[in-house]
């Protein structure tokens, strides 16, 4: 499953307007950790299909979103529920940490 690229033009409708939780990966094509994380992220995507939407933001192309959400490093994963960020993870994390972040966003913790 591909993770759709999203930018400022689609942000309001796709991320903040989502009727289910969203996980956004802020990444960079030159980020080695981002490449390391890709198989783990895809594993999580498959497990949460239909319960969470997944998007990516290229930090080089979307500076306004980077500043708005205070992204300081890549990868940064931010979970959104009801238009608000509800949790974040930074750098190389394992599948369990990603799953816990998503479970919390689904459960409303």
Task: Point out the residues that are catalytic.
Answer: 31, 34
Helices (H), 12-84: 32-47, 63-68
Give the C-alpha separation, 98 to 19, whole Å. Answer: 20
SS3 26: strand
**Residue 81 Cα distances to 4, 30, 51, 96, angstroms:** 18, 29, 12, 20
């Amino acid at each position: 499953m591909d993770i759709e690229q999203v930018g400022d033009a689609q942000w309001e409708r796709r991320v903040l307007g989502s009727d289910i939780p969203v996980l956004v990966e802020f990444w960079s094509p030159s980020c080695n950790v981002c490449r390391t994380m890709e198989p783990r992220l895809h594993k999580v995507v498959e497990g949460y299909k239909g319960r969470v939407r997944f998007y990516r933001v290229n930090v080089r192309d979307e500076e306004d979103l980077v500043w708005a959400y205070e992204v300081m490093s890549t990868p940064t994963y931010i979970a959104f529920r009801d238009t608000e960020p509800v949790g974040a993870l930074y750098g190389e994390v394992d599948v369990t940490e990603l799953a816990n972040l998503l479970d919390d966003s689904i459960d409303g913790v």
